[in-house]
Amino acid sequence: MGEEKKVSIAIIGAGGVGRCFLQQCSQILPLYQNVSVVLISRSNRSLRVPSWNHVLSLDTWEKDLAASNDPAPSPQELLDWFGTTENEIILVDNTSSQDIAAFYPQFLKDRITVVTPNKKAFSSDLGLWKKIINSAYPYDPDGGFLYHEASVGAGLPIISTLKDLLETCDEVQKIEGVFSGTMSFLFNNFAPMEGKGGKWSDEVTKAKNAGFTEPDPRDDLNGVDVARKLVILARMVGLQIESTSAFPVQSLIPKELEDCTSGDEFMEKLPAFDDEMEKDKAKAEEKGKVVRFVGSIDVASGAVEVGVKEFDKGHAIAGLKGSDNIISFYTKRYGSNPLIVQGAGAGGEVTAMGVSADLIKAIKDVHGWKIVR
């Protein structure tokens, strides 16, 4: 096998998911030889080793980063720095930055492995997505490895499950599910299997206070987050989806409130529109059904859509609890009994777990590069 390679990990994004990820790294990385963190960067500062023989401490990184006066490096500066070592580089991008995502092809072409939960890299411009995929191994035999499990479903094995189905030559016919922990929490409480549930605006307030929504709940209610995840999966099954605007995405923001200047103003005015959501819930209840916010991909027709849909109470999607996600893969092999992935699909710890699991795969792959190549 030859001499084991040294692996240097550069981490961009150290707040939220990034902080949880670094905590997990402090437990995981000591299990691997010749693997170390050499850069931790956030939007306004960075912490970098003075030479490639040094390592950053994962016990004191937060204090050390706060004391650093070094600015965050640009993607080009990172690429230039990576070129000064023979170590294998793994870049972990915990941000949602479009600028960093746009640089993935250059990183991959330089044999830098990329691990990321960044949805924008895989759901924005179709041309960028093609460049990223075609620059990564195995499409480019000399490219870096690419892992993005956490770009859909946080720590749930959605990307890897779909890859397994495709690589074992199953025919994926339809993908459907609840792709948002926020929407799951809202609808499970607004339209429960038993009882009446609360008013829509009250449930949005509860979700916001519990930390299930973005600071401005409109960022969840507009449906774009779910749409991004569907674009990623649709492209994986071969659909040439240009962007999230290429298919119907139902927004739960009343038109009259789209121009609110703040999230607080939106929340203050939202109760006046409770009746609209109540009507949809009542129509479903008359049929013995419940409403849920789902995304679906019909592979044969190429139809992709996001929005509110009615489900029989015996359906797996109807019976979700809390903020769980559920994704059903309907395939030729599985027939009418879909392969289902279900569990927590949001939160810093579980998203970081998805990134950490990808990092472990990346470490093993770059260590075995001579065998793989």
- Please state, in angstroms and rounded to a whole number, the distance separating the CA atoms of residues 347 and 36: 26
HSE-CB for 164 with a 13 A CA cutoff: 9
Q: Which amino acid is at 170?
A: D
Task: Provide the 3-class DSSP secondary structure of residue 121.
Answer: helix
Instruction: Judge residue 216's burial from the number of C-beta atoms within 10 Å of its C-beta, 0-12 exposed, 13-18 middle, 19 or more buried.
Output: middle
- Please state, in angstroms and rounded to a whole number, the distance separating the CA atoms of residues 163 and 157: 10
One-letter-per-residue 3-state SS of 315-341: CCCCCCCCCEEEEEEEECCCCCCCEEE
Instruction: Look up 208 and say whether it is catalytic.
Output: no
- In the set 119, 120, 208, 229, the catalytic residue is 229
- Please state, in angstroms and rounded to a whole number, the distance separating the CA atoms of residues 214 and 74: 27
Task: Provide the 3-class DSSP secondary structure of residue 259.
Answer: coil
Chain mean position to CA 83: 29
**Closest listed residue to residue 187, CA positions, set 214, 220, 215:** 220
- Please state, in angstroms and rounded to a whole number, the distance separating the CA atoms of residues 28 and 6: 16
HSE-CB for 312 with a 13 A CA cutoff: 2
- Please state, in angstroms and rounded to a whole number, the distance separating the CA atoms of residues 82 and 259: 44
Residues annotated as catalytic (active site), given as ranges: 229
